[in-house]
Amino acid sequence: SSTTYTSQESKKDVLMGGLLVPGFDERICISRYNSAMYRKNAARSPCPHLIKRLREQEALQRRCGPDTAAYRRAAERIESRRNGTDGAAADANDDGACKYLVLVPYRGLGNRMLAMVSAFLYAMLSGRALLVDRGESLGDLFCEPFPETSWLLPREFPIKNLEGLTGEVPDSYRNLVQNERLVTSASDLPYVFVDLDHACTYHDKLFYCDDDRHFLHRAPWLLMRTDGYFVPALFLNPAYQDELDRLFPRKDLVFYLLAHYLLHPTNKVWGLTTRFYNSYLKDSDERLGIQVRVFDGDSPFKHILDQITACTSQERLLPEVVAQEPSFPAPAAAGARSKAVLMTGLNSWYYENIRSKYWQSATVTSEVVSVHQPSHEEHQLSGNTTHDMKALAEMYLLSMTDAIVTSGWSTFGYVGHGLGGLSPWVMFKPENLTTPDPPCRRAMSMEPCLHGPPFYDCRAKRGADTGKLVPHVRHCEDMTWGLKLV
Ligand code: GDP
Protein backbone atom coordinates (compact mmCIF):
# COMPACT_ATOMS: atom_id res chain seq x y z
CA SER A 1 0.00 0.00 0.00
CA SER A 2 1.32 3.45 -0.72
CA THR A 3 1.47 6.07 1.97
CA THR A 4 0.00 9.48 1.42
CA TYR A 5 1.65 12.39 3.10
CA THR A 6 -0.55 15.02 4.65
CA SER A 7 1.94 17.85 4.69
CA GLN A 8 5.28 18.90 3.29
CA GLU A 9 6.68 18.53 6.78
CA SER A 10 5.91 14.84 7.19
CA LYS A 11 7.15 14.16 3.70
CA LYS A 12 10.44 15.77 4.64
CA ASP A 13 10.73 13.57 7.72
CA VAL A 14 10.21 10.45 5.65
CA LEU A 15 13.14 11.49 3.49
CA MET A 16 15.20 12.30 6.60
CA GLY A 17 15.79 15.91 5.73
CA GLY A 18 16.84 15.21 2.16
CA LEU A 19 19.06 12.23 2.92
CA LEU A 20 16.87 9.99 0.74
CA VAL A 21 15.60 10.71 -2.75
CA PRO A 22 11.90 10.39 -3.45
CA GLY A 23 10.68 8.38 -6.42
CA PHE A 24 11.44 4.76 -5.54
CA ASP A 25 8.48 2.39 -5.71
CA GLU A 26 7.45 2.23 -2.05
CA ARG A 27 5.94 -1.24 -2.30
CA ILE A 28 9.17 -2.87 -3.42
CA CYS A 29 11.03 -1.66 -0.35
CA ILE A 30 8.68 -0.52 2.40
CA SER A 31 11.42 0.19 4.93
CA ARG A 32 13.02 2.90 2.78
CA TYR A 33 10.38 5.54 3.50
CA ASN A 34 8.95 3.85 6.56
CA SER A 35 11.83 3.29 8.96
CA ALA A 36 12.20 6.93 10.06
CA MET A 37 8.76 6.71 11.66
CA TYR A 38 10.08 4.15 14.11
CA ARG A 39 12.85 6.38 15.37
CA LYS A 40 12.89 9.29 17.75
CA ASN A 41 16.08 10.74 16.38
CA ALA A 42 14.98 10.89 12.78
CA ALA A 43 15.27 14.68 12.87
CA ARG A 44 19.07 14.50 12.72
CA SER A 45 19.53 15.81 9.25
CA PRO A 46 22.38 15.74 6.78
CA CYS A 47 24.00 19.06 5.86
CA PRO A 48 23.48 20.51 2.35
CA HIS A 49 26.96 19.51 1.18
CA LEU A 50 26.36 15.85 2.07
CA ILE A 51 23.01 15.95 0.28
CA LYS A 52 24.67 17.39 -2.81
CA ARG A 53 27.42 14.77 -2.78
CA LEU A 54 24.89 11.94 -2.35
CA ARG A 55 22.98 13.13 -5.41
CA GLU A 56 26.24 13.29 -7.37
CA GLN A 57 27.13 9.77 -6.27
CA GLU A 58 23.71 8.54 -7.42
CA ALA A 59 24.36 10.06 -10.84
CA LEU A 60 27.78 8.37 -10.94
CA GLN A 61 26.31 5.00 -9.96
CA ARG A 62 23.76 5.34 -12.78
CA ARG A 63 26.36 6.32 -15.34
CA CYS A 64 28.81 3.56 -14.39
CA GLY A 65 26.60 0.78 -12.99
CA PRO A 66 26.11 -2.74 -14.36
CA ASP A 67 24.28 -2.77 -17.71
CA THR A 68 26.03 0.38 -18.90
CA ALA A 69 28.48 0.58 -21.77
CA ALA A 70 30.98 2.14 -19.36
CA TYR A 71 30.82 -0.93 -17.11
CA ARG A 72 31.25 -3.35 -19.99
CA ARG A 73 34.29 -1.46 -21.28
CA ALA A 74 35.89 -1.37 -17.85
CA ALA A 75 35.24 -5.08 -17.23
CA GLU A 76 36.70 -5.99 -20.62
CA ARG A 77 39.80 -4.04 -19.76
CA ILE A 78 40.44 -6.32 -16.77
CA GLU A 79 40.63 -9.27 -19.16
CA SER A 80 42.78 -7.56 -21.75
CA ARG A 81 45.22 -6.26 -19.17
CA ARG A 82 45.57 -9.69 -17.62
CA ASN A 83 46.37 -11.11 -21.05
CA GLY A 84 48.65 -8.20 -21.88
CA THR A 85 46.57 -7.46 -24.97
CA ASP A 86 45.42 -4.02 -23.90
CA GLY A 87 45.52 -1.99 -27.06
CA ALA A 88 43.64 0.93 -25.60
CA ALA A 89 45.97 2.26 -22.94
CA ALA A 90 45.23 5.82 -23.90
CA ASP A 91 41.58 5.12 -23.33
CA ALA A 92 42.33 3.94 -19.82
CA ASN A 93 43.71 7.29 -18.84
CA ASP A 94 40.63 9.06 -20.05
CA ASP A 95 39.41 11.10 -17.09
CA GLY A 96 35.80 10.55 -18.03
CA ALA A 97 36.11 6.76 -17.68
CA CYS A 98 34.37 5.16 -14.76
CA LYS A 99 36.36 3.97 -11.78
CA TYR A 100 35.11 1.28 -9.43
CA LEU A 101 35.37 0.12 -5.88
CA VAL A 102 34.40 -3.54 -5.53
CA LEU A 103 33.75 -4.42 -1.92
CA VAL A 104 34.03 -7.96 -0.62
CA PRO A 105 32.32 -7.80 2.77
CA TYR A 106 32.74 -10.85 4.97
CA ARG A 107 32.29 -12.42 8.42
CA GLY A 108 29.10 -11.80 10.42
CA LEU A 109 26.37 -9.48 9.26
CA GLY A 110 27.35 -6.69 11.65
CA ASN A 111 30.87 -6.80 10.21
CA ARG A 112 29.52 -6.73 6.68
CA MET A 113 27.25 -3.75 7.34
CA LEU A 114 30.12 -1.73 8.83
CA ALA A 115 32.20 -2.64 5.78
CA MET A 116 29.50 -1.50 3.35
CA VAL A 117 29.05 1.86 5.04
CA SER A 118 32.80 2.48 5.19
CA ALA A 119 33.33 1.48 1.57
CA PHE A 120 30.49 3.72 0.48
CA LEU A 121 32.10 6.73 2.12
CA TYR A 122 35.45 5.88 0.53
CA ALA A 123 33.78 5.49 -2.87
CA MET A 124 32.23 8.92 -2.48
CA LEU A 125 35.53 10.50 -1.45
CA SER A 126 37.44 8.93 -4.31
CA GLY A 127 34.87 9.34 -7.09
CA ARG A 128 34.31 5.62 -7.61
CA ALA A 129 31.15 3.65 -8.24
CA LEU A 130 30.57 1.15 -5.44
CA LEU A 131 29.75 -2.44 -6.36
CA VAL A 132 29.21 -5.03 -3.66
CA ASP A 133 29.99 -8.73 -3.89
CA ARG A 134 26.64 -10.18 -2.82
CA GLY A 135 27.90 -13.42 -1.25
CA GLU A 136 25.13 -15.83 -0.27
CA SER A 137 22.57 -13.52 1.27
CA LEU A 138 23.12 -9.79 0.72
CA GLY A 139 20.69 -9.53 -2.20
CA ASP A 140 17.89 -10.94 0.00
CA LEU A 141 18.69 -8.69 2.94
CA PHE A 142 18.97 -5.19 1.51
CA CYS A 143 17.12 -3.14 -1.09
CA GLU A 144 18.94 -1.28 -3.83
CA PRO A 145 20.18 2.03 -2.42
CA PHE A 146 20.69 3.91 -5.70
CA PRO A 147 17.87 4.83 -8.08
CA GLU A 148 17.69 3.17 -11.50
CA THR A 149 20.76 0.99 -11.12
CA SER A 150 22.15 -1.84 -9.03
CA TRP A 151 24.95 -1.88 -6.48
CA LEU A 152 25.34 -5.66 -6.71
CA LEU A 153 28.43 -6.80 -8.58
CA PRO A 154 27.27 -8.75 -11.67
CA ARG A 155 27.75 -12.50 -11.28
CA GLU A 156 29.79 -12.63 -14.49
CA PHE A 157 32.45 -10.25 -13.15
CA PRO A 158 35.76 -11.48 -14.65
CA ILE A 159 37.58 -11.94 -11.34
CA LYS A 160 36.26 -15.04 -9.60
CA ASN A 161 36.74 -16.27 -6.07
CA LEU A 162 36.79 -12.76 -4.63
CA GLU A 163 36.48 -14.15 -1.10
CA GLY A 164 39.83 -15.87 -1.62
CA LEU A 165 41.77 -12.64 -2.26
CA THR A 166 44.15 -11.58 0.51
CA GLY A 167 46.98 -9.11 0.93
CA GLU A 168 49.27 -11.87 -0.38
CA VAL A 169 48.14 -11.58 -4.01
CA PRO A 170 50.71 -9.92 -6.36
CA ASP A 171 48.56 -6.90 -7.14
CA SER A 172 47.72 -6.12 -3.55
CA TYR A 173 48.41 -2.69 -2.18
CA ARG A 174 50.62 -4.44 0.38
CA ASN A 175 52.87 -5.90 -2.31
CA LEU A 176 52.94 -2.73 -4.38
CA VAL A 177 54.16 -0.77 -1.34
CA GLN A 178 56.59 -3.42 -0.14
CA ASN A 179 58.16 -3.87 -3.56
CA GLU A 180 58.16 -0.14 -4.21
CA ARG A 181 55.96 -0.55 -7.22
CA LEU A 182 53.89 2.52 -6.41
CA VAL A 183 56.00 4.24 -9.06
CA THR A 184 54.51 2.05 -11.79
CA SER A 185 51.26 3.41 -12.99
CA ALA A 186 48.27 1.81 -11.34
CA SER A 187 46.40 2.19 -14.61
CA ASP A 188 48.59 -0.57 -16.10
CA LEU A 189 47.33 -3.10 -13.58
CA PRO A 190 44.10 -5.06 -14.06
CA TYR A 191 43.16 -4.08 -10.53
CA VAL A 192 44.62 -3.14 -7.16
CA PHE A 193 43.50 -5.18 -4.16
CA VAL A 194 43.32 -3.54 -0.76
CA ASP A 195 43.20 -5.83 2.26
CA LEU A 196 41.65 -4.13 5.27
CA ASP A 197 40.96 -7.19 7.37
CA HIS A 198 41.11 -6.34 11.09
CA ALA A 199 44.36 -8.29 11.20
CA CYS A 200 45.98 -6.77 8.09
CA THR A 201 49.63 -5.68 8.06
CA TYR A 202 51.51 -2.41 8.43
CA HIS A 203 51.91 -2.19 4.65
CA ASP A 204 48.21 -2.84 3.96
CA LYS A 205 47.35 -0.05 6.34
CA LEU A 206 49.47 2.49 4.48
CA PHE A 207 46.38 2.59 2.28
CA TYR A 208 44.92 4.83 4.98
CA CYS A 209 47.54 7.43 4.10
CA ASP A 210 47.15 7.08 0.34
CA ASP A 211 46.34 10.31 -1.33
CA ASP A 212 43.90 9.05 -3.88
CA ARG A 213 44.76 11.88 -6.24
CA HIS A 214 48.22 10.40 -6.75
CA PHE A 215 48.64 6.65 -6.97
CA LEU A 216 45.30 4.93 -6.64
CA HIS A 217 43.57 7.55 -8.71
CA ARG A 218 44.86 5.81 -11.79
CA ALA A 219 43.55 2.37 -10.85
CA PRO A 220 40.28 1.82 -12.68
CA TRP A 221 39.43 -1.11 -10.41
CA LEU A 222 40.00 -1.12 -6.70
CA LEU A 223 39.02 -4.37 -5.00
CA MET A 224 38.71 -4.22 -1.26
CA ARG A 225 38.08 -6.72 1.46
CA THR A 226 37.20 -5.50 4.91
CA ASP A 227 35.23 -6.69 7.93
CA GLY A 228 35.00 -3.45 9.82
CA TYR A 229 34.33 0.23 10.19
CA PHE A 230 37.40 1.94 8.77
CA VAL A 231 35.85 5.42 8.65
CA PRO A 232 37.85 6.76 11.65
CA ALA A 233 41.05 6.05 9.69
CA LEU A 234 39.78 8.16 6.75
CA PHE A 235 39.44 11.08 9.16
CA LEU A 236 43.18 10.75 9.87
CA ASN A 237 44.17 11.06 6.21
CA PRO A 238 45.14 14.68 5.41
CA ALA A 239 43.91 14.16 1.83
CA TYR A 240 40.29 13.85 2.99
CA GLN A 241 40.12 16.04 6.07
CA ASP A 242 38.70 19.17 4.44
CA GLU A 243 36.05 17.30 2.52
CA LEU A 244 35.04 15.22 5.55
CA ASP A 245 34.70 18.41 7.61
CA ARG A 246 32.33 19.79 5.03
CA LEU A 247 30.33 16.55 4.75
CA PHE A 248 30.01 16.00 8.48
CA PRO A 249 29.90 19.08 10.71
CA ARG A 250 28.93 16.58 13.46
CA LYS A 251 31.46 13.77 13.42
CA ASP A 252 29.38 11.45 15.59
CA LEU A 253 26.64 11.21 12.95
CA VAL A 254 28.67 9.62 10.17
CA PHE A 255 27.46 6.05 10.65
CA TYR A 256 23.93 7.08 11.55
CA LEU A 257 23.46 9.13 8.38
CA LEU A 258 25.30 6.88 5.93
CA ALA A 259 23.74 3.66 7.23
CA HIS A 260 20.26 5.11 6.93
CA TYR A 261 21.09 6.33 3.45
CA LEU A 262 22.53 3.04 2.23
CA LEU A 263 20.95 0.16 4.11
CA HIS A 264 17.26 -0.59 3.71
CA PRO A 265 16.01 -4.01 4.80
CA THR A 266 13.94 -5.91 2.25
CA ASN A 267 10.20 -6.38 2.86
CA LYS A 268 10.70 -9.83 4.35
CA VAL A 269 13.15 -8.49 6.95
CA TRP A 270 11.04 -5.41 7.56
CA GLY A 271 8.04 -7.65 8.25
CA LEU A 272 10.04 -9.52 10.90
CA THR A 273 11.07 -6.20 12.41
CA THR A 274 7.78 -4.33 12.48
CA ARG A 275 5.60 -7.27 13.52
CA PHE A 276 7.78 -7.85 16.55
CA TYR A 277 7.90 -4.16 17.36
CA ASN A 278 4.15 -3.74 17.10
CA SER A 279 3.42 -6.87 19.13
CA TYR A 280 5.86 -6.46 22.00
CA LEU A 281 7.45 -3.03 22.17
CA LYS A 282 5.24 -0.33 20.75
CA ASP A 283 2.80 0.18 23.60
CA SER A 284 5.27 0.41 26.47
CA ASP A 285 6.18 3.71 28.08
CA GLU A 286 9.87 2.94 27.67
CA ARG A 287 12.00 0.46 25.78
CA LEU A 288 15.41 -0.87 26.82
CA GLY A 289 17.58 -2.94 24.47
CA ILE A 290 20.08 -5.45 25.85
CA GLN A 291 22.36 -7.08 23.30
CA VAL A 292 24.16 -10.13 24.61
CA ARG A 293 27.10 -11.30 22.54
CA VAL A 294 29.36 -13.89 24.12
CA PHE A 295 32.81 -14.57 22.72
CA ASP A 296 33.72 -17.35 25.18
CA GLY A 297 31.40 -19.97 23.68
CA ASP A 298 27.72 -20.59 23.00
CA SER A 299 26.83 -22.14 26.37
CA PRO A 300 25.37 -19.91 29.14
CA PHE A 301 27.75 -18.20 31.55
CA LYS A 302 26.89 -17.01 35.03
CA HIS A 303 29.47 -14.21 34.92
CA ILE A 304 27.73 -12.71 31.91
CA LEU A 305 24.30 -12.79 33.53
CA ASP A 306 25.87 -11.13 36.60
CA GLN A 307 27.39 -8.49 34.33
CA ILE A 308 24.04 -7.68 32.71
CA THR A 309 22.36 -7.40 36.10
CA ALA A 310 25.17 -5.33 37.60
CA CYS A 311 25.19 -2.94 34.64
CA THR A 312 21.43 -2.39 34.43
CA SER A 313 21.24 -1.97 38.20
CA GLN A 314 24.20 0.44 38.62
CA GLU A 315 23.14 2.55 35.69
CA ARG A 316 19.50 2.47 36.85
CA LEU A 317 18.30 1.12 33.56
CA LEU A 318 16.08 -1.52 35.16
CA PRO A 319 14.28 -1.32 38.52
CA GLU A 320 15.22 -3.47 41.50
CA VAL A 321 12.77 -6.11 42.68
CA VAL A 322 11.45 -6.36 46.24
CA ALA A 323 13.39 -8.81 48.39
CA GLN A 324 10.33 -10.24 50.00
CA GLU A 325 6.75 -9.95 48.94
CA PRO A 326 4.68 -8.10 51.62
CA SER A 327 1.95 -10.28 53.17
CA PHE A 328 -0.71 -7.90 51.95
CA PRO A 329 0.59 -6.46 48.71
CA ALA A 330 -1.02 -3.31 47.49
CA PRO A 331 -3.05 -4.04 44.39
CA ALA A 332 -1.03 -3.25 41.28
CA ALA A 333 -1.85 0.29 40.33
CA ALA A 334 -3.68 0.55 37.07
CA GLY A 335 -1.67 2.71 34.72
CA ALA A 336 1.70 1.79 36.29
CA ARG A 337 4.64 2.68 34.07
CA SER A 338 5.58 -0.08 31.71
CA LYS A 339 9.02 -0.93 30.50
CA ALA A 340 9.66 -3.35 27.67
CA VAL A 341 13.07 -4.99 27.52
CA LEU A 342 14.22 -6.27 24.15
CA MET A 343 16.96 -8.83 24.53
CA THR A 344 18.96 -10.27 21.66
CA GLY A 345 21.41 -13.12 21.77
CA LEU A 346 22.22 -16.53 20.36
CA ASN A 347 21.24 -18.13 23.67
CA SER A 348 17.95 -17.73 25.54
CA TRP A 349 19.25 -18.47 29.03
CA TYR A 350 20.01 -14.82 29.92
CA TYR A 351 16.59 -13.76 28.71
CA GLU A 352 14.84 -16.57 30.65
CA ASN A 353 16.59 -15.50 33.84
CA ILE A 354 15.77 -11.83 33.57
CA ARG A 355 12.21 -12.44 32.51
CA SER A 356 11.76 -14.85 35.38
CA LYS A 357 13.16 -12.32 37.86
CA TYR A 358 10.41 -9.84 36.97
CA TRP A 359 7.78 -12.57 37.01
CA GLN A 360 8.79 -13.94 40.42
CA SER A 361 8.97 -10.57 42.16
CA ALA A 362 7.41 -7.13 42.02
CA THR A 363 9.55 -4.09 41.28
CA VAL A 364 10.28 -1.58 44.03
CA THR A 365 9.11 1.20 41.73
CA SER A 366 5.87 -0.62 40.79
CA GLU A 367 6.96 -0.45 37.18
CA VAL A 368 5.77 -3.29 35.02
CA VAL A 369 8.71 -4.93 33.23
CA SER A 370 8.19 -7.22 30.28
CA VAL A 371 11.10 -9.04 28.67
CA HIS A 372 11.20 -10.27 25.08
CA GLN A 373 13.68 -11.97 22.79
CA PRO A 374 12.88 -12.58 19.13
CA SER A 375 15.13 -15.58 18.48
CA HIS A 376 17.80 -17.82 19.93
CA GLU A 377 19.75 -19.24 17.03
CA GLU A 378 22.24 -21.06 19.36
CA HIS A 379 25.11 -20.83 16.85
CA GLN A 380 26.38 -18.27 14.35
CA LEU A 381 25.48 -19.35 10.81
CA SER A 382 26.49 -16.28 8.80
CA GLY A 383 25.68 -16.52 5.10
CA ASN A 384 22.49 -18.52 5.69
CA THR A 385 19.73 -16.25 4.43
CA THR A 386 17.04 -16.96 7.05
CA HIS A 387 19.59 -16.72 9.86
CA ASP A 388 20.96 -13.43 8.53
CA MET A 389 17.43 -12.05 8.12
CA LYS A 390 16.71 -12.61 11.80
CA ALA A 391 20.02 -10.99 12.75
CA LEU A 392 19.21 -7.95 10.63
CA ALA A 393 15.68 -7.62 12.02
CA GLU A 394 17.10 -7.77 15.54
CA MET A 395 19.69 -5.07 14.86
CA TYR A 396 16.85 -2.82 13.64
CA LEU A 397 14.71 -3.72 16.67
CA LEU A 398 17.57 -2.73 18.97
CA SER A 399 17.77 0.57 17.11
CA MET A 400 14.11 1.25 17.92
CA THR A 401 14.63 1.24 21.69
CA ASP A 402 15.14 4.31 23.90
CA ALA A 403 18.29 3.13 25.66
CA ILE A 404 20.62 0.31 24.87
CA VAL A 405 23.16 -1.92 26.59
CA THR A 406 25.58 -3.63 24.23
CA SER A 407 28.37 -6.18 24.48
CA GLY A 408 31.84 -4.73 23.91
CA TRP A 409 33.71 -5.87 20.77
CA SER A 410 30.50 -6.76 18.95
CA THR A 411 29.85 -5.24 15.53
CA PHE A 412 26.24 -6.51 15.84
CA GLY A 413 25.88 -4.19 18.84
CA TYR A 414 27.60 -1.29 17.01
CA VAL A 415 25.05 -1.50 14.22
CA GLY A 416 22.15 -1.66 16.70
CA HIS A 417 23.09 1.49 18.60
CA GLY A 418 24.50 3.23 15.53
CA LEU A 419 21.26 2.89 13.57
CA GLY A 420 19.35 4.02 16.64
CA GLY A 421 21.46 7.12 17.10
CA LEU A 422 22.03 5.98 20.69
CA SER A 423 25.22 6.19 22.75
CA PRO A 424 25.16 2.76 24.37
CA TRP A 425 26.14 1.48 27.77
CA VAL A 426 28.94 -0.86 26.72
CA MET A 427 29.57 -3.99 28.73
CA PHE A 428 33.31 -4.62 28.84
CA LYS A 429 34.50 -7.90 27.37
CA PRO A 430 35.07 -10.31 30.28
CA GLU A 431 38.57 -11.69 30.89
CA ASN A 432 39.15 -15.09 32.53
CA LEU A 433 35.41 -15.79 32.76
CA THR A 434 34.89 -13.12 35.43
CA THR A 435 32.44 -10.22 35.56
CA PRO A 436 34.41 -7.03 34.86
CA ASP A 437 34.31 -4.22 37.40
CA PRO A 438 32.84 -1.82 36.47
CA PRO A 439 30.55 -4.01 34.36
CA CYS A 440 29.79 -1.32 31.79
CA ARG A 441 30.26 2.31 30.91
CA ARG A 442 28.34 4.88 28.88
CA ALA A 443 30.01 5.35 25.50
CA MET A 444 31.24 8.77 24.32
CA SER A 445 29.30 8.56 21.08
CA MET A 446 26.98 6.44 18.98
CA GLU A 447 29.73 5.63 16.45
CA PRO A 448 31.12 2.11 15.86
CA CYS A 449 34.69 1.24 16.81
CA LEU A 450 37.44 0.46 14.28
CA HIS A 451 39.13 -2.73 15.52
CA GLY A 452 42.24 -2.80 13.32
CA PRO A 453 43.34 0.84 13.25
CA PRO A 454 46.53 2.25 11.74
CA PHE A 455 49.28 3.20 14.19
CA TYR A 456 50.88 5.64 11.79
CA ASP A 457 50.78 9.40 11.40
CA CYS A 458 50.37 10.17 7.67
CA ARG A 459 51.66 13.75 8.06
CA ALA A 460 54.71 13.05 10.20
CA LYS A 461 55.34 9.76 8.34
CA ARG A 462 56.08 7.78 11.49
CA GLY A 463 54.39 5.63 14.09
CA ALA A 464 52.07 7.45 16.46
CA ASP A 465 49.24 7.10 18.93
CA THR A 466 46.45 7.60 16.41
CA GLY A 467 43.93 8.22 19.20
CA LYS A 468 45.67 11.53 19.85
CA LEU A 469 46.11 13.06 16.42
CA VAL A 470 42.79 14.87 15.96
CA PRO A 471 40.21 15.79 18.60
CA HIS A 472 37.33 13.80 17.10
CA VAL A 473 39.14 10.45 16.69
CA ARG A 474 39.65 8.73 20.05
CA HIS A 475 40.25 5.29 21.48
CA CYS A 476 37.13 3.17 22.02
CA GLU A 477 35.62 2.33 25.40
CA ASP A 478 35.60 -1.40 24.72
CA MET A 479 38.94 -1.84 22.94
CA THR A 480 41.85 0.28 24.11
CA TRP A 481 43.65 0.34 20.74
CA GLY A 482 40.50 0.76 18.62
CA LEU A 483 39.46 4.12 17.17
CA LYS A 484 36.10 5.84 17.02
CA LEU A 485 34.65 9.18 16.05
CA VAL A 486 33.23 11.32 18.83
P1 GDP B 1 29.99 -9.72 16.00
O2 GDP B 1 30.61 -11.04 15.69
O3 GDP B 1 29.38 -9.66 17.35
O4 GDP B 1 30.94 -8.59 15.75
O5 GDP B 1 28.72 -9.49 15.02
P6 GDP B 1 28.44 -10.04 13.58
O7 GDP B 1 27.03 -9.63 13.25
O8 GDP B 1 29.48 -9.62 12.62
O9 GDP B 1 28.52 -11.60 13.68
C10 GDP B 1 27.75 -12.32 14.61
C11 GDP B 1 26.69 -13.15 13.91
O12 GDP B 1 26.20 -14.16 14.82
C13 GDP B 1 25.45 -12.35 13.53
O14 GDP B 1 25.54 -11.74 12.28
C15 GDP B 1 24.38 -13.42 13.57
O16 GDP B 1 24.51 -14.23 12.45
C17 GDP B 1 24.80 -14.20 14.80
N18 GDP B 1 24.30 -13.54 16.01
C19 GDP B 1 25.04 -13.05 17.04
N20 GDP B 1 24.23 -12.49 17.96
C21 GDP B 1 22.97 -12.64 17.51
C22 GDP B 1 21.69 -12.25 18.02
O23 GDP B 1 21.56 -11.64 19.07
N24 GDP B 1 20.61 -12.55 17.26
C25 GDP B 1 20.72 -13.21 16.07
N26 GDP B 1 19.60 -13.46 15.39
N27 GDP B 1 21.90 -13.59 15.57
C28 GDP B 1 23.01 -13.30 16.28
User: Residue 324: exposed, middle, or buried by beta-carbon count in 10 A (0-12, 13-18, 19+)?
Assistant: exposed
**Protein residue with least CA distance to atom 26, ligand 1:** 391
At 90 the pLDDT is 43
Ligand 1 first shell, C-beta below 6 A: 107-111, 293, 344-346, 375, 377, 380, 382, 387, 390-391, 394, 410-412
- Percentage with pLDDT > 90 across the chain: 81
Within its chain, how far is the Cα of 169 from the centroid? 27
**Is the domain covering 267-323+335-448 a CATH 3.40.50 domain?**
yes
Which atom of ligand 1 is least distant from the CA of 110?
7
Going by alpha carbons, the residue nearest to atom 7 of ligand 1 is: 110
Provide the pLDDT for residue 6. Answer: 45
CB atoms within 10 A of CB 83: 9
Taking the centre of ligand 1 as the mean of its atom positions, its distance from the CA of residue 355, in whole angstroms, is 22
Alpha carbon of 245 to ligand 1 centroid (Å): 33
Band (1; pLDDT cuts 50, 70, 90): very low
**Secondary structure element (H or E) that encloses residue 484, with its range:** strand 483-485
Residue 23 confidence (pLDDT): 95
* Residue of 258 and 1 predicted with greater confidence: 258
In the predicted structure, residue 244 carries a pLDDT above the cut 70: yes
Burial of 53 (0-12, 13-18, 19+ CB in 10 A): middle
Report percent pLDDT > 70 for the chain: 91
Domain ranges of the chain: 12-85+94-262, 267-323+335-448
Mean pLDDT for the stretch of residues 29-51: 90
Taking the centre of ligand 1 as the mean of its atom positions, its distance from the CA of residue 465, in whole angstroms, is 31
pLDDT at position 233: 98
- What are the C-alpha distances in Å from 419 to residues 228, 282, 416, 428, 447? 16, 18, 6, 21, 9
In this predicted structure, the answer to whether residue 334 has a pLDDT above a threshold of 80 is no
Å from CA of 116 to ligand 1 middle: 16
**Which of the residue ranges 49-63, 141-155, 241-255, 330-344 would you say has the lowest mean pLDDT?**
330-344
Query: Which pTM does this prediction carry?
Result: 0.95
Mean pLDDT for 331-356 is 91
Q: How is residue 265 annotated by DSSP?
A: B
Task: State residue 177's pLDDT score.
Answer: 86
Most informative mutation of 375, 380, 407, 417 for ligand 1 (most atoms within 8 A of CB) = 380
Cα 164–Cα 228–Cα 156 angle in degrees, nearest 5: 40
Residue 330's pLDDT band (boundaries 50, 70, 90)? Answer: low
Ligand 1 center to 295 CA (angstroms): 11
Q: How far is the CA of 110 from the centre of ligand 1 (A)?
A: 7
The yes-or-no verdict on residue 147 having pLDDT over 50 is yes
Give pLDDT tens digits for 404-414: 999 999 999 99
Rounded average pLDDT over 434-456:
97
Query: Taking 90 as the threshold, does the pLDDT of residue 329 lie above it?
Result: no
Q: Beta-carbon neighbour count of residue 125 at 10 Å? A: 17
Among the atoms of ligand 1, which is closest to the Cα of residue 227? Answer: 8
> Phi first, then psi: what are they for 287, rounded to 5°?
-130, 130
Q: Write the residue with the smallest CA distance to atom 11 of ligand 1.
A: 108
Q: Is the ipTM of this complex over 0.95?
A: yes
Relative to the CA of 293, which ligand 1 atom is closest? 20
Assign 4 a pLDDT band (cuts: 50, 70, 90): very low
Stronger pLDDT, 334 or 291, i.e. the higher one: 291
Cα(394) to centroid(ligand 1), Å: 9
Sheet holding 129-132, edge to edge: 129-132, 100-105, 221-226, 192-196
**DSSP H helices in 192-266:** 202-205, 231-234, 238-247, 254-262
